[in-house]
Amino acid sequence: MFAALGDPTRREIFERVAARPQSVGELAGDLPVSRPAVSQHLRVLKDAGLVSDGAAGTRRIYRMNPQGLDHLSAYLNHFWNESLAVFKAAAEQPTKERRK
């Protein structure tokens, strides 16, 4: 799921959609990216379950998918993995050198 956010443009699109539901046209108008490219990025985000879409008249409106996304879990998983790596190094120090 989160590999979908590895691309900077896709992340930017995701953050804009998360901030406000909007259409492909609106996104393309605000970004230096073509409409087909925006559509392609949205397709990846949708396939990853990060955004969902719905019809509004003749347009499709994209919004963040609150069900499919668990930012907090992903973030904390990352946080703890990083922190435990540092913890491991501290615990394996032969002498008790305390920084603070």
Partner 1 sequence: MSTQSVAVPVRTSIVVEAPRERAFEVFTAEMGSWWPDDKHILQGELAGMVFEPRTGGRIYDHATDGSECTWARVLAYEPPDRVVFTWDINLRWEIEADPGRASEVEVRFIAEGDARTRVELEHRGLERHGDGWESMRDAVGSPNGWHSGLQALAAYLAG
Whichever of 24 and 64 has its CB closer to partner 1, that residue is: 64
Does 25 contact partner 1 by CB under 8 A? no
User: Does 95 participate in binding partner 1 (rule CB under 8 A)?
Assistant: no
Cα angle 53-56-61, degrees, rounded to a multiple of 5: 35
User: Which amino acid makes up residue 19?
Assistant: A
Q: Does 66 bind partner 1 (CB under 8 A)?
A: yes
Of residues 36 and 84, the one with the C-beta less far from partner 1: 84
CB nearer partner 1, residue 3 or residue 58: 3
Q: Does 55 bind partner 1 (CB under 8 A)?
A: no
The footprint of partner 1 on this chain (CB under 8 A) covers a number of residues equal to 39
* Dihedral Cα 58, 19, 35, 2, nearest 10 deg: -120
Sheet containing 22-23: order of strands? 22-23, 59-64, 51-56
